[in-house]
């Protein structure tokens, strides 16, 4: 059994290493060192996860609760803890500092512990699992108690990583790429096999333990599984229809429905629905569940589609209304009546126990059409196979007239690539391109807006350094009602406050429109947006989907042309 202290020792070395080759080496050493039981846990931990992305289990601890637990464990007032966060800018360093102080001033539980009794990796994981499972009345107190237990049983270094794990932000610079290469190195299997295994299972922990126990052969047996959602295939922007045809030749064009993405899993009479962030939303959409059950003529299937809320005027209702349906846990039937949904299916990844993702889109489409019987709520919409730009333009105009976003232009010969944004799926929308940026800060307002957070600081992502880089603020396009909603949404993610400024844990994405991108020395990215305006809150998108610095650079260059 490996101690959590050993895990932290290696994390510290990784944190202090800059080159990704060296980092891969250390991560692979860590993977070789631990037992098969510990390996999946450690794989997720280094990436700052407790559970795999697809899992229903969620720790759900915000910085607020963490700081509260730190205050109780250290005996320091919450205000003092918040001050330390402001100084250090990191919950890990805060925990080390706060609890280090306490040991001089007050006797903690750890003083009574035999120093040879060390926390094990499994024990830390089990505590987090208990935190995840604490629900209902008294759950906050019980979560804080579990955290307090961990803090009081840990050494200074461990305390820092426990705090970071609690908010799932390890800050050691290890992402999927390094983990993939480290698994390959540790267990002597090809990188491509690890990549494939991850694509199909969406679970690096499972891939790691499979590689360790059964090598390449076992990895090649990994496949899609009902109940374990895979990452969705993503689309790139195309400037115009002609360019798309030039790139792809004959294309498959479909309406780009203005709604929200869902992944549907069916096994006999069991239906599960997952959002774009792979949260299980089955309970919130009973109408879609029963319509899907009737529509699918297969024992098992995994499908991809977009749910749309059509208003009385026959046009799609705002995206935020659909998200209200997704988030609803109680009085679901009420929302079913008020915001009726329909589902447009456009892809199929699995049918009757067989994966279809390697088949070309055109073949998958045949299976899709053959296995769905359209009904009032569920349908497979039209797809046009052509290289005639006029025909595609007509389809584009029709989609816009119906109030949808535009069209998707797909490569009919392409496989389904989970989690990939490439040239095989292109999107054409009329409005100026928007950016999906993550909110990293905000300011408390003035006058009647004093109790609302506004003026949101935005950042793009730099994969090279694994950091979020600021690109300015957005304060326009936000209604009073939205301000109240956003303030509630962000409250849980506040890391620290100084005067009217608030630092927010990167978690929620804004889709932002703007007039122009300018060079700027005022922001970390080196760019600023002219006249930014909030288009919508993209709480359907995950942190991985934040636009990159490279995309900003590309947009800057194209606009200058
Ligand atoms: P975006 O959200 O701007 O990145 O555009 C891609 C999104 O369009 C997908 O994630 C889907 O939610 C949505 N979409 C609507 N209709 C389709 C379609 N026919 N094929 C694929 N995606 C679609």
- 286-333 pLDDT, tens per residue? 999 999 999 999 999 999 999 999 998 889 998 888 988 988 888 898
pLDDT surpasses 60 at 561: no
Domain assignment present for 203:
no
Instruction: Dig out the tokens for 457 from the structure.
Output: 């600081």
Domain assignment present for 6:
no
Could you tell me if 253 and 349 lie in one domain?
Answer: yes
Question: Which ligand 1 atom sits nearest the alpha carbon of residue 538?
Answer: 2
C-alpha–C-alpha distance, residues 470 and 455, integer Å:
13
Around ligand 1, the residues with Cβ closer than 6 Å are: 235, 254-257, 261, 306, 346, 408, 427
Could you tell me if 543 and 409 lie in one domain?
Answer: no
pLDDT surpasses 90 at 101: no
pLDDT surpasses 70 at 115: no
pLDDT surpasses 50 at 103: no
pLDDT band at 179 (very low <50, low <70, confident <90, very high): very high
C-alpha–C-alpha distance, residues 318 and 332, integer Å:
19
Could you tell me if 101 and 160 lie in one domain?
Answer: yes
The pLDDT assigned to 111 comes to 43
Contact call for residues 513 and 457 (beta carbons, < 8 A): no
pLDDT band at 557 (very low <50, low <70, confident <90, very high): confident
- Rounded mean pLDDT of 168-189? 94
More confident: 489 or 203: 203
Could you tell me if 444 and 418 lie in one domain?
Answer: no
Last residue of a domain, one of 405, 428, 451: 428
The pLDDT assigned to 544 comes to 86
* Ligand 1 binding pocket mutation candidate from 256, 345, 435, 537 (most atoms within 8 A of CB): 256
The residue whose CA is least distant from atom 6 of ligand 1 is 235
Domain assignment present for 213:
no
Phi, psi angles (nearest 5°) of residue 470: -70, 150
The boundaries of the domain holding residue 406 are: 234-428
Could you tell me if 449 and 414 lie in one domain?
Answer: no
How close is the Cα of 98 to the center of ligand 1, in Å? 46
Q: What is the CATH number of the domain that holds 307?
A: 3.30.470.30
Domain assignment present for 142:
yes
* Ligand 1 binding pocket mutation candidate from 231, 232, 238, 257 (most atoms within 8 A of CB): 257
Could you tell me if 242 and 324 lie in one domain?
Answer: yes
3-state secondary structure of 301: strand
Which of the residue ranges 47-56, 101-110, 433-442 would you say has the lowest mean pLDDT? 101-110
Which own/partner contact pairs does 329-333 have at CB distance under 8 Å and 24+ positions apart?
A: 329/283, 329/284, 332/283, 332/284, 332/286, 333/286
Could you tell me if 485 and 356 lie in one domain?
Answer: no
Contact call for residues 435 and 514 (beta carbons, < 8 A): yes
Domain count, the chain: 3
Which ranges constitute the DSSP H helices of 77-138? 78-88, 91-105, 121-133
- What's the whole-number average pLDDT of the chain? 92
DSSP state of 429: -
Could you tell me if 72 and 138 lie in one domain?
Answer: yes
Q: What is the CATH number of the domain that holds 475?
A: 2.40.50.140
Could you tell me if 467 and 360 lie in one domain?
Answer: no
Give residue-wise pLDDT tens across range 350-385. Answer: 999 999 999 999 999 999 999 999 999 999 999 999
- Rounded mean pLDDT of 480-493? 88
Phi, psi angles (nearest 5°) of residue 498: -145, 110
C-alpha–C-alpha distance, residues 10 and 6, integer Å:
6
Which of the residue ranges 64-68, 251-255, 464-468, 548-552 would you say has the lowest mean pLDDT? 464-468
Angle, helices 4-16/156-166, rounded to nearest 10 degrees: 80
Last residue of a domain, one of 166, 185, 200: 166
Q: What is the CATH number of the domain that holds 124?
A: 1.10.3260.10
Angle, helices 204-221/191-201, rounded to nearest 10 degrees: 110
The residue whose CA is least distant from atom 11 of ligand 1 is 261
**Active-site residue list:** 256
How close is the Cα of 261 to the center of ligand 1, in Å? 7
Identify which of 484, 481, 480, 475 has the alpha carbon closest to the alpha carbon of residue 510.
475
Could you tell me if 462 and 395 lie in one domain?
Answer: no
Last residue of a domain, one of 116, 141, 166: 166
pLDDT surpasses 60 at 188: yes
The pLDDT assigned to 237 comes to 84
Domain assignment present for 42:
no
Domain assignment present for 171:
no
Which of the residue ranges 6-15, 260-269, 507-516 would you say has the lowest mean pLDDT? 507-516
C-alpha–C-alpha distance, residues 444 and 47, integer Å:
32
The pLDDT assigned to 497 comes to 84
């Amino acid at each position: 059994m490996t101690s959590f202290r050993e895990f932290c020792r290696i994390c510290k070395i990784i944190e202090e290493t800059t080159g990704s080759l060296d980092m891969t080496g250390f991560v692979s050493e860590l993977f070789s060192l631990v037992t098969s039981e510990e390996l999946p846990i450690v794989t997720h931990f280094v990436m700052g996860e407790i559970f795999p992305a697809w899992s229903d289990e969620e720790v759900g601890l915000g910085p607020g609760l963490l700081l509260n637990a730190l205050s109780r464990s250290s005996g320091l007032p919450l205000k003092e803890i918040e001050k330390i966060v402001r100084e250090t800018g990191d919950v890990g360093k805060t925990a080390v500092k706060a609890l280090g102080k306490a040991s001089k001033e007050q006797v903690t539980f750890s003083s009574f512990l035999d120093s040879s009794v060390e926390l094990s990796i499994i024990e830390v994981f089990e505590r987090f699992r208990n935190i995840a499972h604490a629900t209902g009345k008294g759950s906050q107190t019980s979560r804080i108690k579990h955290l307090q237990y961990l803090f009081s049983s840990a050494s200074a270094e461990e305390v820092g990583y426990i705090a970071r794990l609690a908010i799932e932000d390890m800050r050691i610079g290890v992402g999927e790429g390094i983990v993939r290469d480290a698994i390959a190195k540790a267990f002597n299997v090809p990188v491509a096999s690890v990549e494939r295994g991850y694509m199909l299972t969406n679970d690096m922990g499972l891939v790691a333990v499979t590689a360790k126990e059964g090598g390449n052969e076992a990895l090649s047996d990994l496949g899609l599984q009902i109940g374990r959602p895979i990452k969705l295939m993503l689309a790139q922007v195309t400037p115009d229809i002609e360019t798309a045809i030039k790139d792809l030749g004959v294309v498959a064009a479909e309406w780009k429905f203005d709604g929200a993405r869902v992944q549907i899993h069916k096994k006999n009479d069991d239906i599960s629905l997952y959002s774009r962030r792979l949260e299980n939303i089955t309970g919130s959409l009973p109408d879609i569940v029963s319509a899907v059950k009737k529509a699918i003529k297969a024992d098992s299937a995994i499908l991809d589609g977009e749910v749309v809320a059509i208003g009385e005027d026959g046009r799609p209702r705002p995206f935020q209304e659909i998200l209200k349906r997704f988030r609803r846990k109680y009085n679901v039937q009420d929302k079913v009546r008020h915001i009726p949904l329909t589902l447009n299916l456009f892809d199929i990844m699995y049918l009757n126990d067989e994966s279809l993702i390697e088949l070309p889109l055109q073949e998958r489409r045949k299976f899709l059409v053959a296995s769905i019987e359209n009904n009032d709520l569920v349908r497979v919409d039209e797809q046009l196979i052509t290289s005639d730009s006029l025909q595609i333009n007509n389809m584009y105009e029709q989609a816009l007239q119906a109030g949808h976003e535009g069209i998707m232009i797909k490569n009919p010969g392409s496989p389904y690539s989970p989690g990939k944004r490439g040239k095989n799926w292109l999107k054409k929308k009329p409005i100026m391109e928007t950016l999906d940026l993550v909110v990293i800060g905000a300011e408390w307002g003035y006058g009647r807006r004093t109790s609302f957070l506004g003026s949101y600081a935005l950042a793009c992502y730099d994969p090279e350094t694994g950091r979020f880089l600021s690109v300015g603020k957005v304060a326009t396009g936000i209604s009073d009602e939205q301000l109240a909603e956003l303030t509630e949404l962000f409250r849980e993610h506040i890391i620290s406050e100084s005067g009217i400024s608030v630092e927010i844990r990167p978690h929620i994405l804004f889709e932002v429109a703007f007039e122009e991108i300018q060079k700027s020395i005022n922001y970390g990215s080196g760019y600023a947006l002219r006249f930014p305006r909030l288009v919508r809150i993209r709480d359907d998108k995950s942190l991985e989907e934040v636009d990159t610095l490279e995309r900003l650079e590309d947009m800057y260059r194209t606009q200058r042309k």
